[in-house]
Amino acid sequence: MTSETSTEDCLGWAARDTSGVLSPYNFSRRAVGSDDVSITITHCGICYADVIWTRNKIGDSKYPLVPGHEIVGIVKEIGPNVGRFKVGDRVGVGTYVNSCRDCEEDILVTSLSMRGTASGYPTTTHWLQQAPLLCAGITVYTPMMRHKMNQPGKSLGVIGLGGLGHMAVKFGKAFGLKVTVFSTSPSKKEEALTLLGADKFVVSSDQDQMKALAKSLDFIVDTASGDHPFDAYMSLLKVAGVYVLVGFPSEVKFGPASLLIGAKTVSGSVTGGTKETQAMLDYCAANKIYPQIEIIPIQHANEALERLIKRDVKYRFVIDVENTLK
């Protein structure tokens, strides 16, 4: 969550320790290189990954740590080798910084280099709504496309209705799927059905509701990061059904029969590459798919992180960096 006042003098909000508490932080960055794009950040989404890394939940955080990887802004300077962008362009920045380009595994860092033009977003409101697409959106879009979840008439289950889950519902409906939302919160039913357009809503703790949907789903996208049973959801898949995990529970555990009987597929996915991101942005622009957001000043970032932990957001916080980071 940073804003550059020059190529050397920058201001952000950083965590200094595992408390994850953010406060103003001044730092310097290197001059713009030959292949670099420098941007003035206008808005930044808040993701649960910001909670994970500011609080060192995985064990690889380095402090001081400035979080934020759902960024939109305006190009202010480019290196001499940059051909795709020009000063004044509106751009988006996601999670991947770099790749060694030698092995099959990309290097995932806490920020920031997927750049995609925001073609088709004609208004300021739609522009800032693009920010959550650069993580929440692409994280569900990539596996949905990979596993051909864009087949009209087929059935999709979405577990969890947060930042990722509500985007999975939006994509599912745009693809022509019959979408069922699974949540532990009955209070989310009305919005799932009326605002997001889901076809069904199921309280996942209700065994009767769950059993009624046995072998009824072609696909499941699991966005839940809290611990939850997997066998119950696996039983909802049809023969050759596909279960994609994009959330981060502490463990994944299910009986072999849940996988073997019915020749089911279980897959995992994290974010997506530049080409997929551009394709997603173009698709969202063409189909008017926008995240539901709550805009906040950066001074409310710590409160927003606490509310995110409590699932008290519909459905993504976006920080107004341009007007509140001074």
How high is the pLDDT of residue 8? 57
Q: Which residues pair with 90 in a beta bridge?
A: 74
Taken in order 220, 224, 227, 228, the sign of the CA dihedral is negative
Report pLDDT for 325. 87
Distance from C-alpha of 252 to C-alpha of 254, rounded to nearest angstrom: 7
Kindly tell me the burial class for residue 16, based on how many C-beta atoms sit within 10 Å of its own C-beta (0-12, 13-18, 19 or more): middle
The Cα–Cα gap between 129 and 46 comes to 12
Strand, helix or coil at 175? coil
pLDDT in tens, the chain (326 residues): 555 444 558 899 999 999 999 999 998 888 899 989 999 999 999 998 899 899 998 888 999 999 999 999 999 999 999 998 999 999 888 887 666 667 665 444 434 323 333 333 333 445 767 889 999 999 999 999 999 999 999 999 999 999 999 999 999 999 999 999 999 989 999 999 999 999 999 999 999 999 999 999 999 999 998 889 999 999 999 999 999 999 988 889 999 999 999 999 999 998 888 889 999 999 999 999 999 999 999 999 999 999 999 888 889 999 999 999 87
